[in-house]
A and B are shown apart, each in its own frame.
Chain A
Amino acid sequence: MSALVVARNLAMPGRLQDISLEFAAGQLVGLIGPNGGGKTSLLQTLAGIPPASGVVIIAGECARSLAPNLRQRLFTFLPASRDVAWPLSARDFIELALPPEADWSPLVNRFELSGVVDRRMDQLSTGERTRVMIARALAPDPILLLLDEPIANLDPYWQLVILDELRDRARTGGRTIIMAIHDLRAALGWSDRLLLMAGCRLVADANPPGLQATGIIEEIFRVDPNLSAIRPADRQSSP
């Protein structure tokens, strides 16, 4: 089976070394790694945010050569920051630069946004703003979704709703979804494939059971196999 997304020679000066990757349709890919490992840099490079270099082919199209409306049908990007500079209403925020054919009305029910859309973004809670921003990323229904920390700032219920929606889009919609995620349990439980980044490099690329079997997660994250405690060797000894 040929890959839906092909990325060649991805790099970002000083932040990401040369990486080439392929992604199949219907994959929910978890991007994990310690702070500063290069997760965000990889997502930004895939999204073509300067100073990224490399080639990304999505469904046979070179995404970066396309105009905004077509490009959003191929991929969208959710940045890690939940800050907003301007006091737009949530509705205006979602509809800003949205391709005209995009229909986001199903997301209003799915994410319970009916009480939120007419309020100003700067007056929402961080969790509400996160839901609106994820809705903005999902609204064009792109082939490839690049999400930086989609479930950070969310309570357990909304974490599960979002993960469930993403998996549903991958399984039944055949979309490719790449999400950077710090919650290792959620990453192991929900991902079809895990990319482990450390030191600006791709350290491991495997399915969750395969990755767990290697023991590299404990090694890189310096936690015990249950992910519930710091490894004894890495515990700071108090004087």
Chain B
Amino acid sequence: MTRPFLLVAVAVAFLLSLALPYGSFATLQARDPALAWDLLAQLRLPRAMLALTYGAALGACGAAVQTIFANPLASPDLTGTTSGAALGAVIAAYLLEFASPFAMSLGSVGGAMAALGLLLLLAGPRAETTTLLLAGLAISALAGALTTLALALAPSPFAFYDAYDWLMGSLVDRSLGQSLFALVPTLACIALLLSQVRPLDSLALGEQSAQAIGYDIRRLRLLVIATTAIAVGACVAVCGAIGFIGLVAPIFARRLTGGRPGSAILPAALIGGLLLLSADLIVRLAPLGRTLPIGVATAVLGAPFFLWLVSRMRWKLGR
């Protein structure tokens, strides 16, 4: 019942994202239909596809990462993956001066992988959840500091502005080719995560029970971290860092699955896509004269939710 509803909601948001703002499109179509269709295919379609893809990646990976850490506050940001990807992309961008989206993708996935490698080095393959989360936090801090350093050493004010604008997260002016760079690896990673729904669900019995039942949780943990690095890395390379959706979407999704964490991956992907499409619509339709970076919009909307969540958990734990 809920999944068809979610699918319809995502489809509607996607179509709205293509159609809105409608006035300018209608005017253009009346004068120059060919140009209007070009605008649709080359500007609005990639943008909507990117929003859907990136949101779905954050939702699905967030759900998977929360499951393996048995913690509803974990997210790709918390494992240091996003920050590592951003750093990798900034380094690639400076070395090649934003010349090639391919270089940025490689740099970003490389940065995410490096963050993952460092995480494994710090925390070990069989680390306690607390150790993993703390190591992820340390890596985020390190990658953030190095990114700031790279910005401070920007070769020119333009390079600084470009990098800063990209870091805040943006879906604007990405080509169809670029969006495929994000789309293909992300869909592969989501499919891989969906193949692990049962073992991930079994973690709700506790890690040891899941292992006794016969699931290889160490392998599962590595798989989730690697797919997260690739999917989030690929999206960060194209659109910059967008926060909070990886945290928020799985929390809503688990309400639809009776708390089952693995089954929440598909709804979390749909909700993530829906959230980012909606956030992008808000950014585009907001009467501010200048378009807000979408990363700022999700942070402004997501941070209060995060604070509310933390305070609620604190009350619940009675601390």
Residues of A within 8 A of B (CB): 44, 47-51, 64, 66-68, 71-72, 75-79, 81, 83-89, 92-93, 96-97, 120, 136, 146
Chain B residues whose CB sits within 8 angstroms of the CB of A83 once the complex forms: 206
Given known pairs A71-B214, A96-B204, the reply for A50 and B260 (CB within 8 Å) is no
User: What does DSSP make chain B's interface, helix, strand, loop or mixed?
Assistant: helix
Tell me how far the C-beta of A147 lies from the nearest C-beta in chain B, rounded to whole angstroms. Answer: 12
**Smallest CB-CB A-B distances: 6 pairs:** A77-B212, A85-B70, A47-B212, A87-B259, A88-B259, A79-B208
Q: Between A and B, how many residue pairs show CB distances below 8 Å? A: 78
CB-based contact A97/B213 at 8 Å? yes
CB-based contact A93/B205 at 8 Å? yes
Q: Nearest A residue to B201 by beta-carbon distance?
A: A96
CB-based contact A77/B208 at 8 Å? yes
Which parts of B125-155 form the interface with A (CB within 8 Å)? Answer: 126
B218 located at the interface, meaning its Cβ lies under 8 Å from any Cβ of chain A in the complex: yes
CB-based contact B259/A79 at 8 Å? no
Tell me how far the C-beta of A103 lies from the nearest C-beta in chain B, rounded to whole angstroms. Answer: 18
Chain B residues whose CB sits within 8 angstroms of the CB of A84 once the complex forms: 204, 206
Partner of B206, one of A44, A81, A87: A81
Chain B residues whose CB sits within 8 angstroms of the CB of A92 once the complex forms: 258-260
Chain B residues whose CB sits within 8 angstroms of the CB of A51 once the complex forms: 126
Chain B residues whose CB sits within 8 angstroms of the CB of A96 once the complex forms: 201-202, 204-205, 260
CB-based contact A86/B213 at 8 Å? no
Q: Nearest B residue to A94 by beta-carbon distance?
A: B205
Residues of B within 8 A of A (CB): 70-71, 126, 198, 201-206, 208-215, 217-218, 254, 258-261
Bound together, the chains give a CA A76 to CA B214 distance in angstroms of 10
Partner of A66, one of B70, B202, B209, B214: B214
CB-based contact A48/B211 at 8 Å? yes
Chain B residues whose CB sits within 8 angstroms of the CB of A87 once the complex forms: 254, 259
Query: Which of B202, B209, B210 has the largest number of chain A CB atoms within 10 A?
Result: B209
Given known pairs A96-B260, A120-B259, the reply for A86 and B209 (CB within 8 Å) is no
CB-based contact A71/B213 at 8 Å? yes
Bound together, the chains give a CA A87 to CA B316 distance in angstroms of 13
Chain A residues whose CB sits within 8 angstroms of the CB of B254 once the complex forms: 86-87
Tell me how far the C-beta of B303 lies from the nearest C-beta in chain A, rounded to whole angstroms. Answer: 24
Q: Nearest A residue to B217 by beta-carbon distance?
A: A50
Bound together, the chains give a CA A97 to CA B208 distance in angstroms of 14
Bound together, the chains give a CA A64 to CA B70 distance in angstroms of 25
Chain A residues whose CB sits within 8 angstroms of the CB of B208 once the complex forms: 44, 47, 49, 77, 79, 81
- Taking A75-B212, A96-B202, A96-B260 as given, write out 18 further A-B residue pairs in contact, using a Cβ cutoff of 8 Å, ordered by the A residue number: A47-B208, A48-B211, A49-B211, A49-B212, A76-B212, A76-B213, A77-B209, A79-B206, A81-B206, A83-B206, A85-B70, A86-B204, A89-B258, A92-B259, A97-B201, A97-B213, A120-B259, A146-B212
Given known pairs A68-B214, A71-B214, the reply for A86 and B198 (CB within 8 Å) is no
Bound together, the chains give a CA A87 to CA B259 distance in angstroms of 5
CB-based contact A97/B212 at 8 Å? no
Chain B residues whose CB sits within 8 angstroms of the CB of A49 once the complex forms: 208, 211-212
Chain A residues whose CB sits within 8 angstroms of the CB of B126 once the complex forms: 50-51
Tell me how far the C-beta of A151 lies from the nearest C-beta in chain B, rounded to whole angstroms. Answer: 18
Chain A residues whose CB sits within 8 angstroms of the CB of B261 once the complex forms: 85-86
Bound together, the chains give a CA A49 to CA B208 distance in angstroms of 7
